[in-house]
Structures are given as C-alpha cells and as structure tokens.
Structure 1
Amino acid sequence: MSAVNLPLAAGLVAVAAGAVAYVVLLPVLSGERRAEQRRKALGNNRVSLAERATSASRREQVAKSLKEIEAKKDKTKVTLELKLARAGLDWSRRKFYVVSALIALGLGVGVLAVSGRPLVALLATFVGALGIPAWMLKHLQKRRIAAFIDELPNAIDVVVRGLKSGIPLGDCLRMISREAKEPLRSEFRVANEAQALGLPMSEAIQRMYERVPVTEVNFFAVVIGIQAKAGGNLSEALGNLSRVLRERKKMAGKIAAMSMEAKVSAAIIAALPFVVAFTTYLSSPDYISLLWTTAIGKIALAASALWMGLGIAMMKKMISFEV
C-alpha cells in the first residue's frame, strides 16, 4: 500500500512544483512583467512631465507678476502730495507752501535782526523756504517708515493666523486696519477703502509701496500679487516673509551695535576741529581771528571746510550699512 502511494505522492509534488514554476516563470518568459514595468515607467514619466509643466508654468506666472510689479513701481512719480503722504501729513499743497513761506520769513527776519546783513538774511530766507521744509518732510518720512517696519511683522503674523483659521484675506486686513498701531492702521485702512471701491486687493497693497517705499512693503506686495495671479499657499508664504523680516531686523540691530564704536569715533574726529577752534578763540581770539580777517586765512578756511566735508562724507559712507 505504501509502495503504491509513494510514486503517487511524488507525482503530485512534481505537478505542484511545475504549476508554481509555470505561474512564476510565465510572466518573465512571455515579457508581461517587462511590459508592466514599462507601463509603470511611462505613467511615472507622464506624472513627472505634468509636474514639470505645472512648475514651469508657475515660474512663468511668477516672473510675469514680478515684471508687472517692477514696471508699475518704476512709473511712480514722486509728487509733493506723495511726499506729504509718506511723511504722514494730511496737508494740501497750498498749506505746505504757506508753512514754507512762514518759516522762510521768520528765519530771514531773525538772521537780519541778529547779523544786520541783508545778504546773509537773504541766504537764510532761501534756506528756510527750500531746505528746512524738505528736511522736515524727510525726517517725518524716516520716522514714520521706522514705526511701520517695526509693526509690519506683527501684522503679517495676524494675517497668517487668520488664514490658517479660515478667515478670508480681506477680513484679516480689515482687522489690521482697526487694531494695529499707527502708521500701519491708516495705511491698511487706505488699502481696504481702495478695495471697497473696486480695486483688487493685490493692487491696493502694491499702492501701499508708493506711500511707504521700503523693501519690506515691496516684499509684502510681491507675495500678495503673486498669490493673486499664480496661486499657492498664502499663509506659508506670509509666514516665511514674517520670519525674513524679523531676521532682517535682528541683523540691522547687530550691525548698529557693531558699528557704534566706528560712529562714535567718526563723530569725535568730525567735531575735533570745531572744538579746538572754539577753545583757541576763547584763549587767544586775536590769533585765530586771522582765519576770517585776512585773505589767506579765508582761503585756508574755505579749503579746510572743503576737505572737512569730504572727510565727513567719506566716514559716513564707511560706517553706513544697508541690510
């Protein structure tokens, strides 16, 4: 009985082994496996080509958006009204001219009363009419821009948190226009009013750069403009922008701290000739008065003032850093 079953069991084992070998080797021998691999490779290539095409199209859209933003920025004409807006003043052109005339008149009359020389008073009048108002606008603009840059990263963080919570971009910007500090609040209020009148949000933010012409605002306008035209994750882009702005601020602080010694040295060197001249005048007025009472002294004084001005300008250039 066992002798009869042994050949039968061996035959069954051989048939099973042949079936397994047939199942395993048939796709290999017939080329089906290679065909399947080729189909998978073609599918992967199609996906890769589609991703590359999408990426290339997105890059083209981003480049086009950047070119449009730069073209609009280059066409901006700096008028007196724009200078007043950058300084945070709601004055009209007429009011600015009236204030400039009053400053010029007051300065001219004061110099004339002190010196008694009409030519010097006329020069002071020109300085009061043209120099002091321009310096005032530049000073107010610089102070306003510094306050804007300090508050901008916090406002961007508010937008990022709002977008992640599902709040639309317009509502986030309206929140900033109500709760942020000045001058950020007024600038975003102007942008929201422009949007309410039908202007797209991206263009309203781009116009903000005209009133606050700094790199940080340009970055913000570029991110909003690209997202409006090319799409993408706006919250992630703004989060990266906020981090970059904070790092720029830290770097500016480090540079200011490291260059403080050079600035103090430059200030001491620039003030030293005036201090020496003043102390010499107190001790020996007849000795130093030769500088403005004789022709050679006047020439030496003019040449010294020229070289002193060049030295101060050079030192200022050496210790001024831009981030």
Structure 2
Amino acid sequence: MQTQTLALAFLAATTVGGIAWVFLYPYLSGEKKAESRRASVARNEQSTTRGSERTQRSRREQVEGSLKELEARRQKDKKVPLGVRISQAGLEWSEQKFWMISGALGLFGFGAAFMVGGGLLGAAGIGFAMGLGAPRWLLGFLKKRREKAFLKALPDAVDVIVRGIKAGLPLFESLKAVVNDASEPLRSEFLAIIETQAIGMPLGEACARLYERMPLPEANFFGIVIAIQQKSGGNLSEALGNLSRVLRDRKKMAEKIQAMSMEAKASAAIIGSLPPIVMILVFLTTPDYIALLWTNSMGQLMLVGCALWMTCGVLVMKKMINFDF
C-alpha cells in the first residue's frame, strides 16, 4: 500500500514537472524572447524588402516618365526652324541675312548663266539651285563639321565631369571645368548650359536642351542621364562613366563602318563623276558637237533633265552607302 502511494506520488510529481517544463521553461530560459526577437527581425526584413521594392518601382516609374517626357518633346520639336538650323551650323546670322545672301547668290547664278549663253530656262534653273540649294548645303556642311568636332571632344569632357564628381565637386562646378579646358564647339555648348542654369532653369532641363542645339544621339544620351539623375537620384559618376564607355564604343563602331564602306563610296564617286568628266572632255575636243546642249532649246531641256536624273542617282547612291546605327 505504501509502495503504491509512493509510486502515484512519483508519477504525479513527474507529470507536474513535465507540464511545468513545457510551459514555464521557455519563459525562464529566454527561448520565448529569442523567438519573439526572431519573429520581429523577420517582420523587419520583410518590411524592408517591401520598402526597397516600392523604392525600385518608384525609381523605374520616374525613369519611364522622364524618357516619355523627353520623347514627347523631341516629337514636338521635329520640325527645326531656320534660326535653329543657323545656330546649329555655328553661324551668328539672322534669318534676314540668310535670305539676303540666298537672293544674292540666286541672282548671281542667273546672271552668270544667262551671260554665257545658257538661255533663260537654264539660267533660271542655275539661279534657283544657287539661291536655295547652295545656302542650305552650306548650312548642312557646317552643321556636320561642327557635330564631328563635338563628338570627338564629348567623351573626354564626360571623363572630366566624372573625375570632378569623384573628387567631391558638384556637377555645376564640373561643367565649369569643362568650359575652361574644352575647345569649340563643345565649350560654347556647355557654356550655354551653365548660362541657362544661371538664369533659373533646373540643371537637368538645361542639359536636356543640349539636344536642341546639337541634334545628336550622344548629346541626347548625356541630357537624359543628367535629367534622370536630377529627378530620381543615383550614382551620377557611375552613370556618366558608363555613358563615356558607350560614347567611345559608338565612335569605334562609326569608324569601323566608315572603313568598311569606303569601297562602296569610292565606286559611287567614280560613277557619279563620269558623266561630267566625259562632258568636259568632249567639250575640250569637239566643242561644236556638244554646244547644242546649251545653244538649242531642246538641248537645254535635255541638259536640265540629265541634271535632274543625275541628282536623283547621286542621292540614291548616297542613301545606299550611308549607314545609321
């Protein structure tokens, strides 16, 4: 009897101890607090992850909005006015001066062609070509030459800005350093950015307007990088460093394309120059034979038609051998 009582007491004590171990030990040993801390850390990590995802999503939305805004502005400004084209060529002419020069060239071409016996129709065609074609060709030639000089100096200028930012200078001061050391036309374009920002325009928008004065993809890239960084933040030195590498790679690609297309360009130049060369040689050997082209009305009409067809052929060949990338 006493043995059974002792056994029951032992079992009861063991049961009470087990229950106490299960329910009280976590609180006494700190495991409950550790579990609560782990749960709290997990909740904090989850909230941090959600916050970073929201931040990344917001940044992507800002970048997409900036790109859409810039593209809408490019589409709006697709038709370039004459004054902007003159400034893109690096000239300080007014529109009135341009039209006066065009009119003077047209009158000179008409008078010279009529005096040498080109006839009224031929003289009118030459005067029209010199009055409207020659000034615009000059603007295009000066614009392309200016763009080539700008592209040649832009990667080095971006590297100067990157080094200035890494040294602790603000972006505005880095742009000033480029203005002090760069050559034309890059110096005048970056000076225009500084002057535009000085009158109150945000720096990102001032850099985005570089594309209006220098309509090049590389200038557009630079403006987009600065505009997006000003709106959404980020590591500007890293972004500009990547831009510098992209600009140099595009330059290498352009030079490679030019080297590969030189044979086609030489063939097009030979084909395009053969008719006028043959005409000059025939005129030198038998002038009376070819003089009918500008002394006879039918010959003048044929000469104008030949000039138009030759122009169309040269333009087609030019389109075939020019590669955009």
What's the TM-score, normalizing by structure 2?
0.79
Any idea what the Cα deviations from partners look like across 1:123-149, whole Å, max 9, x if unmatched? 222222211111111111111111111
- The match for 2:48 is 47
CA gap 1:315/1:101 in 2 versus in 1, 3 angstroms:
closer
Of 256, 259, 266 in structure 2, the residue corresponding to residue 257 of structure 1 is 259
Question: Secondary structure of 2:116's partner?
Answer: helix
- In 2, Cα distance between equivalents of 1:45 and 1:126: 74
Report 1:82-161 matches (<5 A).
82-115=84-117, 117-161=119-163
Residue 265 (structure 1) shift: 2.4
- The match for 2:75 is 74
Residue 108 (structure 1) shift: 1.7
Range 258-267 or range 141-150, more displaced: 258-267
CA gap 1:311/1:82 in 2 versus in 1, 3 angstroms:
closer
CA gap 1:272/1:127 in 2 versus in 1, 3 angstroms:
closer
Residue 69 (structure 1) shift: 1.4
CA gap 1:162/1:68 in 2 versus in 1, 3 angstroms:
same
User: Any gaps of 5 or more consecutive residues in structure 2?
Assistant: 1-20
CA contact (8 A) 1:160 1:235 kept: yes
Any idea what the Cα deviations from partners look like across 1:209-251, whole Å, max 9, x if unmatched? 1110110000000001000100001111011001100000001
User: Any gaps of 5 or more consecutive residues in structure 1?
Assistant: 1-21
- The match for 1:56 is 57
CA contact (8 A) 2:157 2:178 kept: yes
Any idea what the Cα deviations from partners look like across 1:84-126, whole Å, max 9, x if unmatched? 1101011112221222222122222211221252332222222
Report 1:1-323 matches (<5 A).
40-76=41-77, 77-115=79-117, 117-275=119-277, 302=305, 306=309, 312-323=314-325
CA gap 1:63/1:141 in 2 versus in 1, 3 angstroms:
same
How many residue pairs are counted as aligned between the two chains? Answer: 295
- The match for 2:6 is none
Question: Secondary structure of 2:209's partner?
Answer: helix
CA gap 1:266/1:100 in 2 versus in 1, 3 angstroms:
closer
CA gap 1:124/1:255 in 2 versus in 1, 3 angstroms:
same
Residue 177 (structure 1) shift: 1.9
CA contact (8 A) 1:65 1:226 kept: yes
- In 2, Cα distance between equivalents of 1:303 and 1:130: 20
Residue 71 (structure 1) shift: 1.8
- The match for 1:18 is none
- In 2, Cα distance between equivalents of 1:169 and 1:301: 57
Root-mean-square deviation (CA), in Å? 3.3
- Identical amino acids, percent of aligned pairs: 47
CA gap 1:304/1:170 in 2 versus in 1, 3 angstroms:
closer
Question: Secondary structure of 1:171's partner?
Answer: helix
CA contact (8 A) 2:122 2:304 kept: no
Matched to 1:59, the amino acid is: R
Question: Secondary structure of 2:215's partner?
Answer: coil
Range 30-39 or range 157-166, more displaced: 30-39
- In 2, Cα distance between equivalents of 1:303 and 1:183: 40
Matched to 2:125, the amino acid is: L
- In 1, Cα distance between equivalents of 2:215 and 2:262: 26
CA gap 1:272/1:80 in 2 versus in 1, 3 angstroms:
closer
- The match for 1:17 is none
Question: Secondary structure of 2:114's partner?
Answer: helix
CA contact (8 A) 1:270 1:312 kept: yes
- In 1, Cα distance between equivalents of 2:292 and 2:115: 26
- In 2, Cα distance between equivalents of 1:129 and 1:288: 27
CA contact (8 A) 1:104 1:129 kept: yes
Matched to 1:70, the amino acid is: E
What's the TM-score, normalizing by structure 1?
0.79
